[in-house]
Amino acid sequence: MTEHIVTGALPGPFGPYSHVVVDSGLAYTAGFGPHTPEGIPVTPSRQAHAAFDNLEAALASAGCGLVDVLRLTVIVDDLEVMLPAVDAELASRRSAPHPVRTVLQAQLPGGVPVVLDAVARVPQH
């Protein structure tokens, strides 16, 4: 059975999509940038931190966390500026073994500097 999750702990979807879809024991998240739950961008020094906060809130809504992430996609507007911040934030939140990761540089909508999405296993209870 597929479960579609939209949670009030995150900014509302900016289009026709769910925050998380859970199917066959895996949680697939939408991409999350550095916004407060009200949709307000955060200060530049907290952007990687806020993006991970949002990703963790999405994962929690599906009953999992960063420790359960198997695949992480990182999209940044500037590899030299944002990727070190993302790496430092991930290292502070999760120890090895680390998930597989894809990193892309792109111009993101609204001038957002970083977007994270993940695939995670949902622990069986």
Closest CA to 111 of 44, 36, 27, 15: 44
Pairing of strands 26-29, 20-23: antiparallel
The string of pLDDT tens digits covering residues 22-81 is 999 999 999 999 988 887 878 888 999 999 999 999 999 999 999 999 999 999 999 999
More confident residue, 111 or 21: 21
Task: Domain 3-121: give its CATH superfamily.
Answer: RutC-like (3.30.1330.40)
Count of residues for the chain? 125
pLDDT at 119 over 90: yes
pLDDT grade for 125, boundaries at 50, 70 and 90: low
